[in-house]
Each structure stands twice: as structure tokens, then as C-alpha cells.
Chains A and B, each alone.
Chain A
Amino acid sequence: MNALSPEGYVTADGRKIGGQLMEMKNITLRFGGVKAITDISFDIREGEIRAIIGPNGAGKSSMLNVISGFYVPQEGEVWFRGARRPQMKPYEVAQQGIARTFQNIALFEGMSVLDNVMTGRLNNMNANIFSQAIWKGRAEREEVLNREVVEKVIDFLEIQSIRKTPVARLPYGLKKRVELARALAAEPKLLLLDEPMAGMNVEEKEDMSRFILDVNDEFGTTIALIEHDMGVVMDLSDRVVVMDYGKKIGDGTPDEVRNNQDVIDAYLGVSHD
């Protein structure tokens, strides 16, 4: 089903997708006696938008947490940029160029949008605490550079008007956008989005889809996303992994997946007669 050359492929709309950025090899994840993920393998290619879909409880979020390094699978290997990834601390994963957003928004509610997005630059701040305190030399230079990056992200996501607004005062749809901004501020190679459209209305979904496509197009960021809204997934993604009960039941372009009998069964149910 997945006869892709190792050098990459060209999508239907003419974008060039590169070689493997990340590869999951036979991943199995257990919580005590519960198997959340069973023997799953797939890859994510450079510059592609890769979706993970599946019914509730299929293990999608667990999979994303394995990719982000938060969960360590009992079996299997995670390869990132051609090297096997050892067990890592979250900040080490971030330093590798992986950023994410959360299904349940995880922002600092009392801080302004700007400050929240600035936290995305944490890994680019190396000045020591003393120079930070007196705000001279390196600390100041770094802040200016980081602010520049952050302002470009703010401009990109069109949230200038809420720059100084405390996050707690924002509606849900905008909070999602601020989360995306924080992830983008880290200038990630790989961006993980956990249900970016959950709880949004049609207009907000359209906006978010546009931003995801633009991020991919403008910065060449590889994006892996989990999403429930089938319409959105099929429109956005280049390739889709389908999971059900912790197993992979399909993998391919949206069209291939849509016509896959196992996938249809998982979503629509099978008759038992």
C-alpha cells in the first residue's frame, strides 16, 4: 500500500515531500495489563502533513505521546532524523525540534498572550540569571532576538490585537491559536497537534485549517496531527494512519484510507449476521 521511495514523493498538489524524518518501528505501549498500542509501525516524512485518526480510545493520543517522547514504549524503536532515539526528558525532546499543542489547552492563564508565546522561546534563552536580573548585555540581546521571532509568529497567526490580553480572558478558539503560536515560536522541525479543531465552530475550523496549511507551506514544518473531524483530516493531510483498539488498520493517502474496508468497518460498524 505504501510504495514510497526513500527519497520522498510528490503530493497531488505538487508539493515535494522529503525522506523520513521520524520512523516508528513496531511500537507496543502497555499501561499495566492494558495494551494501549500494539505493534505499530509507520513513518513521518519531511515536509508532510501526517494525520493519525481513529475512533475514541483507539490510542491516538498515546501514539502522539510516544512521538513526543513523553511515553516510552515497552517494545519497539523510535527513530528520529536517522538515529535511534533514546529515552529522553521533555526538554531534550524540545531541543531536538519537536513542539506540540495539547487537546486540553495548557497555557498560563494569568499571563498575556505575548508572554505565553515567549515561553516557546525558552530553549533559545541562554543568559544566566544574573544578566537576566540586571537586563544588560546578553539577556537584552537575546530577548530582542526572541521577541522578533515571536512577533513574526503573532503576525502570522493574526493575533496582534490580543497581544497584551491575559489568556484567561480569551475565547476557546483563540486560546487554541495562542497554543499554536507558542509551539511555532520554538521554530520546530516537527509540530504535533493534538485535536487542533476540537470544540471549534465551522469558521474557526476553516481558519485553523488555513493556518496549518500555511505553516507547512511557509516554514516547511512537518506536521503530525490527531483529529476527529474527518472532513478536515481528508482535506489537510497528505497521508493518514488509522488506528483502532491500539492497532494500525490503515495507512495511506486520504483516498486510499477512505476506500479501505477495515477503516469503513471501524467507523461505521460491521453487521454481525
Chain B
Amino acid sequence: MAQSSQAADGLASIPALLQRNATRFADKPAYREKEFGIWQTWTWSDIKREIDDLALGLINLGVNEGDFIAIIGSNRPQLYWSMVAAQSVGAIPVPVYNDSAAEEMAYVLDHCGARFAIVEDQEQVDKVIDIQDRLTLFEHMIYLDPRGLRKYDHHKLHQFSHVQEQGRAARDEFTPDLEARQAKLTYASTCVMLYTSGTTGKPKGVVLSNRNIIESAKSSCEFDKLALGEEVLAYLPMAWVGDFIFSIGQAYWSGSCVNCPESPETMMTDLREIGPTYFFAPPRVFEGMLTNVMIRMEDASRFKKRLFDHYMAHARRVGPAILDGKPVGLMDRMKYALGNLFVFGPLKNTLGFTNVRVGYTAGEAIGPEIFSFYRSLGINLKQLYGQTEASVFITVQPDGEVRDDTVGVPAPGVELRIADNGEVFYRSPGTFESYYKNPESTASTKDAEGWVATGDAGFIEPGTGHLRIIDRAKDVGKMEDGSLFAPKYVENKLKFYPNILEAVVFGNGKDRCTAFINIDLQAVGNWAERNNISYSSYQELAGHPSVLDAVQKHVEEVNASVAQDEMLSGCQIHRFLILHKELDADDGEMTRTRKVRRRIVEDKFHDLVKALYDGSQTVSTKTEVTYEDGRKGYISATLTLRDAKVFPIVQGKVAAE
């Protein structure tokens, strides 16, 4: 492959990679965005010009080396350019979750001491103006979309295109300065700062150097043979490390094209139009797609339904083997080819997966059925395990060694170690520099030799060398009788049922386990519709006796499967309830990346947890909820508690099921 022969010398920063791409791939597409119903394309030489103009404009505005520039908005090419323009002038881009409430944004902007912010539209401008008074260092804001902003005070507010125009006008004056600043960028200089979503406490600013990003991008591109001509869809939050690696790191390294959807709501349509070759999605996206397919198949004609069921059954049997290149009989292959003609091909086309060569999922465990569904269609979906501190990659699944229960082997350049308590440690070129302004956390996470604690408990499977993650290390506990308590393990099994959106299992230090359940409004609502159950709200549906029955069945099935595992059989769920509200990031119950904040949930609903253990049949509660605009309200409810059947422990099985 062309790239692997290049020495990383001279390509020590993203602006340097841009320079290379602008000459080498000049007329190849770099970014696309659907606007006004049409895909607009910018080539590598176009974006070099755009980024230079902006960089000059930033110098004109007074950006100094080492300044922090907050980038807030959804995936727009201009915001991606802003990151690279910031790097070009020696500043550090700090992408911020665009759906964060003003309060969360204030913390991040204040913590990094941002002097500038580049934001998408009026919504974000308003948020920053709201918190501006609390930010001592904050000076100027640049916005992309001028709509609704005409009447705002423009002393410290600038339109993106005007900043570029001013930069263009001052080209001769500032170009030497810009070039000098770019020349100073090395492998060791900071590439980007990303705030972790923070399942515990305040977000931490992870400082990633050019070395981290470029080395990670380079080795992962080589691992999956990504090269010029790849198409990726940029739709995940820009503040998330994965998006930075996929849409900037790997895209700049391999010269692939980043496609930005028209709006978050049109993502599925845009996905189909683009047909990416390299696709990443968290499990919930794959799950949502599968649920949609299944719902639509329920409504399809009998003939179509039978055709679908028949060929899908065959695909489940032989599809993954064909994908892995294992021997499969000729008849089976021919039948699979027919299935491809009638079912899989059109289905993949509808989903937008026709061209996908490599697909990844990570962040959470993916249900085995969901995973095998996509693989049996012939989509090369794989799992990886990573975190912000590692510039994403810790372990990945190589082609041909893909399984639903492991997260793969160490990524190129990564060393792995399991501590005595089961916690996973790694060391790699992608390992972060430090947490910004937080030496204590840095020291407690990364030791002097560069080993980083992941906070996850897991083990390396003997024989295959694949890593298996059990749970967050701090969540793993002991039951009263000393048996292992791994809530995530059970929660994941529950969440694999389409009806169950979230589950929170309690039981650390207790004599038995109990659970909170969130139902999936779409799946259960659809089921309710087909069974003539009327409901007006989530709360009403969640309290319906037949819904409780259905969930009870799922819980008991999970108990039966947990009982198979000697090590974890103590985690069977004895009692459960269905929560009267969906766990929500706005209420602080989840992170912005939709991970449950266990402690907060336990604290907030302590009366419900108590009821689960004191044997009462119903419990009344009142809960505060926060609306999207920050207003607060209360909902009260009476919840029914259910007992679930538990199963005797099956002896003699290994912990690995």
C-alpha cells in the first residue's frame, strides 16, 4: 500500500498531512455535505484553501499559539476545517458536545480557558452568550449560520465567512506568521483536547498529541487496509474521540472522503445515498436499524415475509462462514447467492450498507443476535475496544476472527496487561499525554512506565489471545455471600431484548440482585399497537400489566442463562420494576454518550431500591425531571414490583459463557 512506505517524517501534524493531501490528492473529494438537497463537494485543494483562509482570519482576530478554541456544533465540514485551522495557528481545538446544557458547557469552556469559540448556529451562540459572564478568558465567537443573528451585538461575534474573507484579504501580511507557526508543530505538540463524557464526576480534558493521533490513524488504516477512495459518514458527536480519529485522523492519513449528513434526522437517507465503505456505529444504531427492519417485515405481505424468513435462516447458518472465508458447500453457496439476489442485496441497499467493506461497533456490548444478523448479510461488522485516553484503539478484531463475545486482539503497537484484580491495562503510541490541569488524575490513571488503567475488568482468553471485558472494574463487587457481582454482564443480557432499552442491576453487598428496567418505547409501543393495548405515555405503557408480564419473561430467561455460569450465577435477578421515566442525560442519569451513571441512579431512586428489598408489592414515588430547555418538573407514579423466578446453579461450567 502506498501510505505504509511513507516515513512519518515531515508529517508530524494534521496541517502537514493537509499540505501533503492538497498536492497529492488535489482533485480528489475530501468533504461532502448535503445542502439544499444536493451533495456539495470540496476537494483536498479546496479545503486547503478554506482552512488557510480561516487560519489567517484567526490570526487576524488575535489567536495566539497555545490558545484553546472551543468548537461546538453538529458535523459540518466547516467545523472540521475549524479544528485544522486552529491547529495551523498553533491553537488547540476543543470540540464540545453540541447537545450539552449551558451548565456543562460552562464547565468545559471555563476549565480549558477558551478564548475563542467557533459554533454552528444561533442555538449554540445563545448558549455561549448565557454563560459568557462566567468565563474570564473568553473573547470572540465565530458562527457558521447567520440565521436569526442579524440583530445580535457584533462586537465580539463574527460570521465564519467574514473571518475567512478578512483572512484572505490579509494573506500577504499574515502568511509568513502562519507558515512559521505551522513549522513549529511537532509530533509532541498537542493535536486536540477532548473531554471525556465522565461516568463519574466532572469531565476530564484528555490531551492528545500529534503523535497519538497520527500513529493511531496510521496503524489502524494499515490494519484495515484503508486507502484513498474510502467514503465515511460523519454523524457521531464531534466531541467524541472516535469521530476525531475517523473523520480527521484516518481521513487525513488515507485521503478518504468525509460525508456530512444534511441534518441529524436525515442520517438514514444520507447513509443510503452515500453508501460508505467504512462505517462506525455504536450498538444502539445497529439495534435501531434492525428493529426498523423487523417492524417493517411484520407489516410486509405474507410472501415477502416468508421469503425473508427463509433466506435469513439460511444466511444465519452459512453467512458468517462465507464472510470469514471458511469452507462452505457449493449448494449452500448457491442458495446464499440466490438469497443475496432476492433479500440480502436489496436489504443492504436500503440500509446503505451495500459498499461497506469494514464496519465497526464499540462503546457497549452488542447483542449476539444483532451482531450475527449483520454478519450473515455479508457485512463485515467487527468489534473494537477503545477509549479516549488511547486515541480509540486498544483491541480490534482482525478479519476472519470476529466473534460477538470478545473485543479482539491488541491493536498494532498496543501492549496489554491484566492486573491481579482483573483490571485491564494497556500501553501504546496512542496513549494520551495527560489530563489537562489535573495531575492527580493523570498520575492515578497512567503510571511512570506509560501503562494506563482502563477501569474495565476483563481477561485474555487462553488459546485465542482475544480480550473479553466483563464489566467496569469499579462496578464489579461482591454479594453478601462473597460471590462475584458484575451488573453490566446481566444488564447487557437484558438489553439484548428489543423490548428493554436500559437496565440497572443492584446487589453489591446485598444477599440478592434486583433491577430497574426501562422499556423501549418504539418496540413495546409497536407491540402494544398490534395487541390493541392503548396507552398515552411512556409511564402508562411501562405500568401496563401485560408489559410487566413480557418483561418478567425476559428477566427469567436471563436468569436461566446467568445460572449457567458458575462464577456469576449469584447475579440472578430476584425482583424488578419498570421505571416510570426513561433515564435521560438531561437529568444527569446518563452520560451524553448514553452510559448509565449507576451511583446517581441509585441515589436518585433510593426509595425504589429500598422497596425492591423490603418486599413491598407497590411503591409510590415522585421524581424531578429536567426538560430540554432546562426547566424542571415533577412526575409521580405508583410502580408495581415483580418477583422473578431464579434458577439453581449449574455446576461445572466455565465462567466464559
Contact = CB atoms under 8 A, between A and B. Distances in A.
Interface of A: 13-15, 147-148, 151-152, 154-156, 158, 160-161, 163, 210, 213-214, 217-218
B148 interface: yes
B147 A160 contact: no
Interface string B26-53: 0000000001111000000000000000
Contacts of B5: none
A214 B149 CA distance: 9
A214 B148 contact: yes
Contacts of B265: 160-161
Contacts of B37: 147, 151, 154, 160, 163
Interface string B230-264: 00000000000000000000000000000000110
Given A214-B148, A217-B151, A155 B35 contact: yes
B271 to A, nearest CB: 13
A217 B266 contact: no
A217 B150 contact: yes
Counting chain A CB atoms within 10 Å of each CB, the highest count among B37, B148, B263, B269 belongs to B37
A14 B152 CA distance: 11
Contacts of A14: 151
A160 B151 contact: no
Contact of B266 (A15, A160, A218): A160
A155 B147 CA distance: 11
Which 7 interchain pairs have the tightest Cβ spacing? A161-B265, A151-B36, A151-B37, A161-B266, A160-B262, A160-B263, A160-B266
Interface string B119-153: 00000000000000000000000000001101100
A152 B150 contact: no
Contacts of A155: 35-36
A143 to B, nearest CB: 13
B137 to A, nearest CB: 30
Given A13-B151, A14-B151, A210-B148, A148 B36 contact: yes
Interface string B45-79: 00000000000000000000000000000000000
Q: How large is the interface on B (under 10, 10 to 19, 20 to 34, 35 or more residues)?
A: 10 to 19
Contacts of A163: 37
Interface in B70-101: none
A157 to B, nearest CB: 11
Interface in B146-164: 147-148, 150-151
Given A158-B263, A161-B265, A217 B148 contact: yes
Counting chain B CB atoms within 10 Å of each CB, the highest count among A148, A151, A160, A218 belongs to A160
A214 B263 contact: no
A217 B147 CA distance: 9
Contacts of A213: 148
Contacts of B150: 217-218
Contacts of A148: 36
Contact of A214 (B36, B38, B147): B147
Given A151-B36, A151-B37, A154-B37, A161 B147 contact: no
A152 B150 CA distance: 18
Contacts of A160: 37, 262-263, 265-266
A161 B148 contact: no
Contacts of B263: 158, 160-161
A156 B36 contact: no
B147 A156 contact: yes
Nearest to A149: B36
Interface string B329-356: 0000000000000000000000000000
B631 to A, nearest CB: 11
A14 B36 CA distance: 31
Contacts of B148: 210, 213-214, 217-218
Contacts of A217: 148, 150-151
Interface string B566-600: 00000000000000000000000000000000000
A53 B265 CA distance: 36
A27 B619 CA distance: 65
Given A160-B37, A161-B265, A214-B147, 5 more contacts: A147-B37, A151-B37, A154-B36, A156-B147, A160-B266
Contacts of B151: 13-15, 217
Nearest to B35: A155
A152 B35 CA distance: 9
A163 B37 CA distance: 9
A161 B36 contact: no
Nearest to A163: B37
22 contacts: A13-B151, A14-B151, A15-B151, A148-B36, A151-B37, A151-B38, A152-B36, A155-B35, A155-B36, A158-B263, A160-B37, A160-B262, A160-B263, A160-B266, A161-B269, A163-B37, A214-B147, A214-B148, A217-B148, A217-B151, A218-B147, A218-B148
A213 B148 CA distance: 8
Contacts of A147: 37
A15 B36 CA distance: 29
Nearest to A152: B36
A147 B43 CA distance: 25
Nearest to B627: A203
Nearest to A161: B265
A28 B48 CA distance: 65
A210 B126 CA distance: 14
Nearest to A153: B36
B400 to A, nearest CB: 39
A161 B261 CA distance: 11
B427 to A, nearest CB: 45
Nearest to B36: A151
Contacts of A152: 36
A155 B37 CA distance: 9
A15 B150 CA distance: 11
Contacts of B35: 155
A61 to B, nearest CB: 30
Contacts of A156: 147
A214 B35 CA distance: 19
Contacts of B262: 160-161
A174 B553 CA distance: 39
A151 B150 CA distance: 22
Nearest to B266: A161
Contacts of B147: 156, 214, 218
A214 B147 CA distance: 7
Contacts of B36: 148, 151-152, 154-155
Nearest to A158: B263
Nearest to B38: A151
A60 B429 CA distance: 71
B352 to A, nearest CB: 15
A160 B264 CA distance: 10
B336 to A, nearest CB: 33
